[in-house]
Amino acid sequence: METPTLASPRLAQRGRAAINFQAGIGIASARLLAQAERALADRGITADTLPEDMDARHDTVAHVIGDHPAFRLNTLLSEWRAKSHGPVARDAFEEQRDQLVPALHALDAGPSRLVEEPIPPLPSYWADTEFHRTEGGWDSSAYNGYVHGEILHKLMLAKMFPGDIFAQRRAAASAAPRRDYARILDMGASSGHYTVALAEIFPAARITGIDLSPRMLEHAARSGNARGQAWQLHVRPAEDTGLPAESFDLVTSFNLLHELPPPVIDAVFAETFRLLAPGGDMLMSDVPRFAELDRLTAWRFDHLAKWGGEPFWRASASMDLAAAATRAGFTGVTAGGIGTAPTFHPYLIQGRKPA
Ligand SMILES: C[S@@+](CC[C@H](N)C(=O)[O-])C[C@H]1O[C@@H](n2cnc3c(N)ncnc32)[C@H](O)[C@@H]1O
């Protein structure tokens, strides 16, 4: 039988228009912020004169341009978008539910699967948080993997964020020092966008993915099946996977670490070290380190993270990930952004478990 393809989101007119409107507001909001930053510069506040402390940076910006129309409008639109983007995407799905649900279930059968096993206790920093200000968090609705992975990522975020968000995943995976890994673990695989990049770059590898969200992993399995891939997906915490020691040659993640409190990030590096076979590679990609950005760019990330419902972004972006990886036992650790100035996103940390 021919493998069914993942129906590219075919939303109805109203849903498409609402999503496009959200993306347009996101783009307009970024332009307003740039305008507000120019007003800040006109009043003598630049990356070089902003205070070192992040709260003091916010106070300075609020004091100097808090009443500037562009900044006030950016604040209003950011708040509106933060509250409305989730419901708008969900409504767009509901409008086409009768067509989408059968198309999605047609992709349940195939070589990729969410392994049926008891779900481990979900950590409170994950279960009790409404990430991205989506009511109910990652598992807020039965088809949230599609809503988040296809509607939000492909139709909204891909238009709003600078650069190609999928090419960034391929670039991150391509930075691994070898091409012959037999066993790869994708931590925080979510709806599978980075897993797709891994499968493209390491076609011979056996890919395992873990995440805490069954709804995201269900979609990842469908995405794998649409591509004829055989991914084994598990609901497991990255900091304590329960997977056998030394069972992977590459352990990797994309945009997982900023979702975690710093002590959990340390635990993730320790677990990665345990999971790797001697000589295996660790490759983690995430948001840039605040300490390596100019102060205005770091402030902008912190501002966006606040509206974006990212409770751990500031603490994790303030952490020295190269030091954390070295503490866990990795050797030859390197870290740095591979993107363009001034953000250099994505930021990569690599290291090897000694042979
Ligand atoms: C920003 S998404 C990851 C994006 C994904 N790698 C991609 O390329 O699109 C973060 C994911 O990490 C998952 N997550 C958060 N904490 C986790 C943990 N402790 N262990 C495993 N997954 C976790 C979330 O459920 C979410 O699906």
Given a cut of 90, whether residue 9 has pLDDT beyond it is no
Residue 3 lies in a domain: no
Residues 255 and 312 in one domain: yes
Residue 6 lies in a domain: no
The pLDDT of 282-311, averaged and rounded, is: 92
**Using 50, 70 and 90 to split pLDDT, how confident is the model at 6?**
low
**Using 50, 70 and 90 to split pLDDT, how confident is the model at 169?**
very high
Average pLDDT, whole number, for the chain? 93
Given a cut of 70, whether residue 2 has pLDDT beyond it is no
CATH number at residue 348: 3.40.50.150
Distance (angstroms) between ligand 1 centre and the Cα of 331 equals 25
Residues 168 and 305 in one domain: yes
Residues 204 and 231 in one domain: yes
- Could you give the strand order of the β-sheet that contains 206-211, starting from the edge strand earlier in sequence? 113-114, 232-235, 206-211, 183-187, 248-254, 276-286, 347-352, 331-337
Ligand 1 is surrounded, with C-beta below 6 A, by 126, 138, 169, 187-190, 193-194, 210-213, 216, 237-239, 254-256, 259-260
Q: What is the per-residue pLDDT for 139?
A: 81
Distance (angstroms) between ligand 1 centre and the Cα of 189 equals 6
Q: Based on the structure, what is the number of domains in the chain?
A: 2
Q: What is the per-residue pLDDT for 163?
A: 81
Q: Please say whether the beta carbons of 193 and 149 come within 8 A.
A: yes
Q: Which SS3 state, helix, strand or coil, does residue 305 take?
A: helix
Structure tokens at 66: 């808090």
Residue 158 lies in a domain: no
Q: Which SS3 state, helix, strand or coil, does residue 29 take?
A: helix
Residues 76 and 138 in one domain: no
Distance (angstroms) between ligand 1 centre and the Cα of 98 equals 28
Phi, psi (5° rounding) for residue 24?
Answer: -60, -40
Residues 54 and 136 in one domain: no
Q: How many CB atoms lie under 10 A from the CB of residue 349?
A: 25
Residues 135 and 102 in one domain: no
Structure tokens at 278: 């001697």
Residues 96 and 198 in one domain: no
Residue 4 lies in a domain: no
Domain extent at residue 266:
124-145+164-352
**Using 50, 70 and 90 to split pLDDT, how confident is the model at 319?**
very high
Concatenating the DSSP letter of every residue in 108-161 gives SSSS-EE---PPPPPPHHHHT--GGG-TTGGGSSTTHHHIIIIIIIIIIIHHHS
Residues 56 and 136 in one domain: no
| Domain end marker among 90, 111, 132 | 111
Distance (angstroms) between ligand 1 centre and the Cα of 216 equals 9
Q: Which of 56-65, 162-171, 207-216 has the lowest mean pLDDT?
A: 162-171
Q: What is the per-residue pLDDT for 127?
A: 83
Residue 2 lies in a domain: no
Residues 173 and 250 in one domain: yes
Question: In this predicted model, what pLDDT tens digit does every residue of 204-247 receive, in sequence order?
Answer: 999 999 999 999 999 999 999 999 999 999 999 999 999 999 99
Given a cut of 80, whether residue 3 has pLDDT beyond it is no
- The residue whose CB lies within 8 Å of the most ligand 1 atoms, and thus the one to mutate among 114, 138, 211, is 211
Distance (angstroms) between ligand 1 centre and the Cα of 327 equals 23
Given a cut of 50, whether residue 285 has pLDDT beyond it is yes
Residues 333 and 264 in one domain: yes
Distance (angstroms) between ligand 1 centre and the Cα of 20 equals 26
CA–CA distance from 148 to each of 73, 107, 131, 224, 335 (Å)?
26, 17, 12, 16, 29
Residue 321 lies in a domain: yes
Going by CA atoms, what residue is nearest to atom 21 of ligand 1?
Answer: 211
Nearest one of 137, 232, 237, 150 to 187, comparing CA atoms: 237
Given a cut of 50, whether residue 256 has pLDDT beyond it is yes
Pick the atom of ligand 1 nearest to 253's CA: 6
Q: What is the per-residue pLDDT for 340?
A: 87
Residue 36 lies in a domain: yes
Q: Which of 29-38, 244-253, 284-293, 306-315 has the lowest mean pLDDT?
A: 306-315
Residues 64 and 27 in one domain: yes
Pick the atom of ligand 1 nearest to 123's CA: 19
Residue 154 lies in a domain: no
Given a cut of 60, whether residue 118 has pLDDT beyond it is yes
- Cα atoms in the 13 Å half-sphere on the side-chain side of 124: 0
Residues 208 and 333 in one domain: yes
Nearest one of 304, 316, 315, 311 to 253, comparing CA atoms: 316
